[in-house]
Structure 1
């Protein structure tokens, strides 16, 4: 048997085994009521698998973001006339921008730098709103539309989950 056919057989076994492994991890996540799980598996020096699983808990999201929203009026120069009540689910707001991944949100390109955007600022579609760091990779989060930044729903350096509301751009 040639080296190529041996490697093809090993790749197929890895793939089938990896799928079963990921399914088992997902079941473990549900069974133990976990919200996030990361596992690294190394087969050899150049062959490894990293799996990160997370699930968004709808009940936890409003409570997690209520504190930053409550602090926003104190930092704003004037009270917003159309301010949403603290009990409103930020994910249901029109113009909400959600996190495409699990990671850490950063509002500026580096510590101490000016934030990418501020409340009341006009942004264009595609303009960077913030960064979400995931697995040591800085992922720029672009504005999905042109408009005005109405609310920033996360603090700099705070952890975010997949689908978590980050900002409102209307």
Structure 2
């Protein structure tokens, strides 16, 4: 079979269906093999078109006496503060950097008080140059966004608090 006939044999409908599956499932890559035909469809998710700049850390300052250990975090004791954190915490599934909007200078995905649907993107966690959408596990109302934009996050760290 000539090279041009092999190219003509590619099923463009299949390629489009695979691309649709990527969009629907938020996957980044899918591959199908049929006999000698192998089709791989990939998509790239980008958050920002502008380069990210990092500030240099300040130079260490010599101390004459050892620094005191930081005080442990104080848990709130008043009922209004405790109730404000009541709800379901959406936690980070990975270590990375949290971004509250799809690109710098654009509106955040969600704000406190917004009603969200199950599967709706709440924010993005970048890990190893891959943008991972963090979606709502259920319908609800955003009670609190616990992290800041471009803040490093750890596995299991609360990101957003949802109320019924």
TM-score (norm 2): 0.49
Bigger share in helix: 1
TM-score (norm 1): 0.48
